[in-house]
Amino acid sequence: MFNFSLGSNRSDVDISQIFDVVIMGAGPSGLTAAIYAGRYRLKTLLIEKKLVCGGQLATIAHVENYPGFDTTVSGSHLAQEMEKQAIKNGAWILQGHIESVNFTGQIKELNTPKGVIKTRAVIISTGAQPRMLNIPGEQQHIGKGVSYCATCDGHLFIDKTIAVIGGGNTALEETITLTKYAKKIFLIHRRNEFRADKIIQEKIRMIPEIEFMLNTTVKEIDFGKDNERKILVHTKGQDKTIHLDGVFIFVGIIPNSKPFLDALNLKEGFITSDEDMKTCIEGVFVSGDVRYKSLRQITTAVGEGATAAFSANKYLTEKR
C-alpha cells in the first residue's frame, strides 16, 4: 500500500510513470542517495516501508560519532533533516514495500501490493533489522518486557532492573542510553571481551549502575508466573537465575535482502557490490547496511548512498 510519507509535500507523483531511479529504504543511506539523485535532476522515487524515515538511525538516542556535531545529536533529528533535504532536492517519498523484483530487462520492475513500479535504475538501501536470540520466552514477550530498542522502550524501566544482552557497539551504546532510566543493568556478553569500540568500552566501565557478566549466555527468558520476571543464564560453568524487570537484546543485525535472494549475489545474506556500489546486475546498485562490507556506520551509509547515486547517474547518462 502506498501513502505519502510525513514531510512529503509532493502528492502529485504518478507511480505508473517510468522513474530514472527508485531507491528502496529511507535510512541514512537511502536518504543520502535521494538527495544526490535529486540534485542530478533524476526522476527519483524513495520507497520506505515504515511510517517514518530513518531506519535504524531513527531509534538511536544519541549519535556521538557523526562528524559536525561536537555534542550528541539524536538519530531521529538527523533522519528528519535528511528527509527534508531529499524532498527539497526533488525526490518523492512514498510509504510502501516491495514484494519482489524483476531485474532482467533494461527497465527494472518492482512488484508492490499496488502494482508494478518501473524504473531505469535501482538503489537498494533496505538496511538491516535486529537479530533475535531465539531462546525460549523471547518471541512471546516482545513488547512485554523484551525489547530491541532503548530509545523506544527505555522509559518503561525507570528505576527498574534490566539486562542488556550483546557485546557490540549497539549493545554498549544502548546500555549507556538505558542508564538514564534503569537503576541497575546487567550487561551480559557471551565472550570475555567486547566487540565494541574501545572508546565506548572505557566509558561504560566508569558507570557504577552496570554489572558486567562476561562469558555468560542467556538460556531462557521466564516472565511467566506471578508477575515474577527472571532470566536463566549460564555463567562460570553453572546455571543462575537473575530476577529483573526487562531485557534488551542487541546481538547484531540481519540484512533486509529477502526480495533480492534470487536476483542478486549475496554473501552471508548481504548483497555484494564493487566499490562503486554496482551489483552483479547492470543498473542495480546497493548501499548501506544491506551491503556486504566490514564497517557499518552512519558515515559509511551516507558515503555509500552518495556513491550509489553517482554511479546510477553515470549509468543513466551512458545509456542515453
Q: Which residues in this chain contact ligand NAP in the complex, by CB under 6 A?
A: 65, 133, 166-171, 173, 190-191, 195, 250-253, 296-298
| Contact of 290 with 258, CB cutoff 8 Å | no
Identify whether 276 is a catalytic site residue.
Answer: no
Catalytic residue among 152, 239, 262, 274: 152
Catalytic residue among 12, 153, 274, 276: 153
DSSP state, 169? H
| Contact of 186 with 213, CB cutoff 8 Å | yes
Task: Tell me which residue of 208, 160, 212, 216 sits closest to 186, measured CA to CA.
Answer: 212
Catalytic residue among 53, 149, 245, 289: 149
Distance separating alpha carbons of residues 198 and 120, to the nearest angstrom: 44
Identify whether 280 is a catalytic site residue.
Answer: no
Q: In the bound complex, what is the minimum distance in angstroms from residue 251's beta carbon to ligand NAP?
A: 4
Inter-CA distances, 74 with 6, 111, 153, Å: 18, 34, 16
Q: In the bound complex, what is the minimum distance in angstroms from residue 233's beta carbon to ligand NAP?
A: 11
Q: In the bound complex, what is the minimum distance in angstroms from residue 162's beta carbon to ligand NAP?
A: 16
Task: Specify the residue, 81 or 99, whose C-beta has the smaller distance to ligand NAP.
Answer: 81
Identify whether 152 is a catalytic site residue.
Answer: yes
Q: In the bound complex, what is the minimum distance in angstroms from residue 214's beta carbon to ligand NAP?
A: 10
Q: In the bound complex, what is the minimum distance in angstroms from residue 166's beta carbon to ligand NAP?
A: 4
Distance separating alpha carbons of residues 12 and 306, to the nearest angstrom: 26
- By CB atoms closer than 10 A (0-12, 13-18, 19+), residue 124 is buried
How is residue 89 written as a grid cell? 532536492
Q: Which amino acid is at 89?
A: N
Task: Specify the residue, 55 or 168, whose C-beta has the smaller distance to ligand NAP.
Answer: 168
Q: Which amino acid is at 212?
A: F
Nearest residue to ligand NAP on Cβ basis? 168
Distance separating alpha carbons of residues 135 and 101, to the nearest angstrom: 33
Positions marked active-site: 149, 152-153
